[in-house]
Amino acid sequence: MTDPIQVVDAVDAKETFAQDNFTSRRTTGHNLFDPDSLLTGAEEAQGLTYTNSSRKFPDVETREAVIRGEVSQADIVRLYPRTLNQ
């Protein structure tokens, strides 16, 4: 079986959260962070939601670093703002 693939900024990338769930994260010790789950009050006030917008990353490597928790939430909001999905 191959890993699920998603397109991130026109680049094929492994779908990190395709089989992710609360139980597996807690029992395996892998507490990965889904950057699209971060929605600030200011973004919400602009009309952005979980379904109509997402964070844009310059490349797949940066997105993976965010998922691994190597970037603070404050920096995620500042460096990779939510934008409306096309």
Q: What are the pLDDT digits (tens) for 13-45?
A: 556 656 655 555 555 556 678 888 899 999 999
- CA 70, CA 49: separation in Å to the nearest integer? 24
In terms of Cα–Cα distance, which of 14, 22, 8 is closest to 56? 8
Are 53 and 85 a contacting pair, CB within 8 Å?
yes
The reported pLDDT for the residue numbered 3 is 52
The structure tokens listed for 71 are: 């970037």
Domains: count for the chain:
1
Q: What are the pLDDT digits (tens) for 1-11?
A: 445 545 555 45
Helices and strands per DSSP (H, E), number in the chain: 4, 4
Q: Domain limits at 50?
A: 5-84
Tell me the whole-structure pTM to 2 decimals: 0.64
